[in-house]
Homo-oligomer: A and B are copies of this chain.
Amino acid sequence: MIEREVKLKLKSPSLEELEKLLERRSVKLDEEVQEDIYFNYKYRDFKDSDEAVRLRKSNNEYELTYKGPKTGNYGKSREEITVRISEKDVQNINIIMERIGLYKAFTVKKTRKNFKIDSYIISLDRVEGLGDFVEVEGQDVTESQLKDFFQKFIDDFQIKGEVTNISYLELLLRGYDKSK
């Protein structure tokens, strides 16, 4: 699957205010508490190759995801391949990955509230150590469709902020590097 998304560091309104607006003007989906363990690789630095391997705990479900290098000019598009892991197998998938040279590099924790408008998923993310973000993900849409929808969405909801295509992991690593 190709995931196509655009992300904005939220300045205004506040995440809580935007949530109230979305509750009135969109379809509310689920709320998730996500804990993402990102792996790096003994044989290939994922920071250089722009890949990611992630074990996500979302509420009480687990999934292993591979993300390919980013492509496209607007927002962020990348191959994303996911396999569900049962809770009893989480320890074992960690061991298998370790045996083939993947090691835990960083953990990203966030709360995510999902809404839907047309075929787009709007996620309100509060990320530990980074702050509040809005992500808009298109399902089987072109870059320009996503761009048009996103522009209309931030105009309608009077959202201000900074668009970024840098992942939470990379943003956290940059902050982490700075603090050294």
On A, residues with C-beta under 8 Å from B are 41-44, 51, 53, 64, 66, 68, 81-86, 89, 92-93, 95-96, 99-102
A104 to chain B, nearest CB (A): 15
How many copies of this chain sit in the oligomeric assembly? 2
Contact B100 A64 (CB under 8 A): no
Cβ contact of A99, chosen from B68, B84, B95, cutoff 8 A: B68
Residues from chain B with a CB closer than 8 A to the CB of A99 are: 51, 66, 68, 81
Which 6 A-B residue pairings sit nearest by Cβ, starting from the closest?
A83-B89, A43-B43, A66-B96, A81-B95, A83-B92, A83-B93
Contact indicator B43/A96 (Cβ below 8 Å)? no
Question: Do A84 and B89 form a contact, CB below 8 Å, given A41-B100, A100-B53, A100-B66?
Answer: yes
Known A-B contacts: A66-B99, A82-B89, A82-B92. Give 16 more (CB < 8 A): A41-B100, A42-B43, A43-B43, A53-B96, A64-B96, A66-B95, A66-B96, A68-B99, A81-B92, A81-B95, A81-B96, A81-B99, A83-B85, A83-B96, A84-B86, A84-B89
